[in-house]
Each structure stands twice: as C-alpha cells, then as structure tokens.
Amino acid sequence: MNADMPWTAVDRYFETRLVRPDAPLDAALASSRAEGLPAISVTPAFGKLLQLLAQTVDARRILEVGTLGGYSAIWLARALPAGGRLVTLEVDPKHARVAAANLARAGLEDRVDLRIGAALDTLPRIEREAGPAFDLVFIDADKQNNAAYFDWALRLSRPGGVIVVDNVVRRGAVADADSRDGAVLGVRRLVERLEHEPRVSATVLQTVGEKGYDGFLLARVLA
Ligand code: SAH
Ligand code: DHB
Ligand code: MG
C-alpha cells in the first residue's frame, strides 16, 4: 500500500546512501518473513536513529520491550560498548526463537539478554535484580500497556536517560478523542500521564515512510 508513495522512494534514497545494506540485518528481516512474523519491524532509517540515540547517550545498558525477530535489537545491541547489555522482552516464544537465531547470526548473543514472557511479568524481576540503571529504553510492544511500560522505564532509567515509544500516531488516529481502539487509548493514556509528569521532558515527532504515517515519542529522564 505504501509501495508507490513518494515517501517510500525517499526512505529508499536515504537508506541506500546513509544506512547501507548489512548481511545480519537483511537476514533478520528475511528469516522473520520466512517464519511468518508480522512485517512491523522498525524501518532501517529508524533502526539507525535508535542506534545513534544509544551512542549519543553512551548507552551501556538498553532495555527493549517487544523484540519480534530481533531487527531493532540488532541495531541497538551494536551501539553497545564491550561489556554493555541489551535486555529485550518478548511474549511470543516463536518470535523469541527467531530473534535468538538472528541475534546469534549477528554475533550479538553475548550482549543480549532475551527474556520470554509478558513484559509486565518480566519487568519486576529486572527491578529485583537491581542491576545498573538503563541509559535507553525502547518501548515497542502491545500499545494498550504503553503507560505501564513507561512507568517501568522511568523507574529503571538513569537521570539523563532516554525513553523512545514507537507507533504513537497511527495514521493520525491518536488525535481522535472518541477512539475506542485499544492501541490509541494506550497512547493517549501515556500522553495524558506525561502531561503531569515532572520527571521527564517529552516530545512526539510524526513520521511518514515505507511503513506509512506514524510517529514516535522521545522522552528524557530528568535528574
Ligand atoms: N521492536 C521490534 C518490533 C516489535 S513488534 C523491531 O522493530 O524489530 C511488537 C512485539 O511485541 C511483538 O513481537 C509482540 O509479540 C510483542 N509483544 C506483544 N505483547 C507483549 C507483551 N505483553 N510483552 C512482551 N512482548 C509483547
Ligand atoms: C504494529 C506494531 C508496531 O510495533 C509497528 O511498528 C507497526 C504496527 C501493529 O501492531 O499493527
Ligand atoms: Mg513498532
């Protein structure tokens, strides 16, 4: 549906010149497709943006909610220095199995801790483990739970850390105050919570590209 749109051609133009083909990333998308996973990984351009953000905050510890086939996880894990760690949470065992193979193919298995289970069940354990705070959190799972995931992200992040939430615009549906769509309600609940949250500074950027019209939220955790 987006194949003939100018923004798809624009994504291709910039990806060709700035993002570059990469065997493990291409293989992760190919195996996700072959295994029948939904084609909802981040775009190459957004994967690289996540990587640049992680590098910009010198991330040593990254948390991802929603692994799918590990495509965004590869981008994020590659931003880590030696000894850094990506913890990524996935509810679907099949998605996790595909992701584990893709991360191994990318040579990243030693840097990535893939945990299977509903994130609201696996997050409390991460807190109990009391590891170092996260420098970057990427929330990209079931949208109804966005506000709960954001609360966890805030609790587990260091001051100055960054939280990114994918898919907050959904073809503009987010602006419909009468929407009954669970994903839209999940985003609106998060945004309305952030309106009164003094501990973060946040903004949203709308995006258009090969995945259509959407957007992401970027928040910085204050001291
Ligand atoms: N970040 C991935 C895409 C994630 S798609 C990428 O860009 O490559 C969303 C993923 O969240 C799916 O794999 C889905 O199974 C997972 N998910 C849905 N509900 C979840 C939950 N409650 N806990 C953890 N993962 C969940
Ligand atoms: C959907 C989920 C995503 O994380 C995404 O980036 C695009 C679409 C979805 O569930 O439709
Ligand atoms: Mg997404």
pLDDT, tens only, 173-208: 999 999 999 999 999 999 999 999 999 999 999 999
pLDDT (mean) for 81-86: 97
Name the closest ligand to CA 69.
1
- Residue 108 has a pLDDT of 98
Q: What is the mean pLDDT of residues 157-161?
A: 98
For helices 146-156 and 119-129, the axis angle rounded to 10 degrees is 10
Task: Classify 142 as helix, strand or coil.
Answer: coil
Reference 42, options 7, 6, 74; nearest CA is: 74
Q: What is the mean pLDDT of residues 9-27?
A: 95
CA of 111 to the centre of ligand 3 (A): 22
pLDDT at 43 > cutoff 60: yes
> 1 pLDDT band (50/70/90 cuts)?
low
The percentage of the chain sitting over the pLDDT mark of 90, rounded to a whole number, equals 96
40 C-beta closer than 6 A to ligand 2: yes
Lowest-confidence pick of 4-8, 83-87, 95-99, 154-158:
4-8
Q: What is the mean pLDDT of residues 22-50?
A: 98
- State mean pLDDT over 100-120: 98
Q: Which ligand is nearest to the CA of 40?
A: 2
Q: Does the CB atom of residue 42 touch ligand 1 within 6 A?
A: yes
CA 167 – CA 146 distance, rounded (Å): 10
Whole-number Å distance, alpha carbon 76 to ligand 2 midpoint, is 18
Q: Cα of 73 to ligand 1 centre, how many Å? A: 11
Residue 154, judged by CB atoms within 10 A of its CB (0-12, 13-18, 19+), counts as middle
**pLDDT over 70 percentage in the chain:** 100
Average pLDDT over residues 78-87: 98
The residues that bridge with 213 in the sheet, in sequence order, are: 208
> What is the pLDDT at residue 3?
83
- At residue 144 the predicted structure's pLDDT band, cuts being 50, 70 and 90, is very high
The CA 68 to ligand 1 mean position distance, Å, reads: 5
Q: How remote is the CA of residue 13 from the centroid of ligand 2, in Å? A: 23
- In whole angstroms, what is the distance from residue 31 CA to residue 69 CA? 8
**CA–CA distances in Å: residue 192 to residues 5, 108, 139, 195:** 33, 37, 17, 5
Output the CA–CA distances (angstroms, integers) from residue 14 to 26, 41, 90, in the order listed: 17, 18, 30
Question: Is 135 touching ligand 1 by the criterion CB < 6 Å?
Answer: no
Ligand 1 probe mutation, 31, 41, 67, 152, most atoms within 8 A of CB: 67
With a 6 Å cutoff on the Cβ, whether 119 touches ligand 1 is yes
> Which two tokens mark 108?
């990243």
Q: What would the mean pLDDT of 83-107 be, rounded to a whole number?
A: 98
Q: Is the CB of 140 under 6 A from ligand 2?
A: yes
Give the residue, by CA position, lying nearest to ligand 2 atom 3: 40
User: Which pLDDT score is estimated for 223?
Assistant: 78
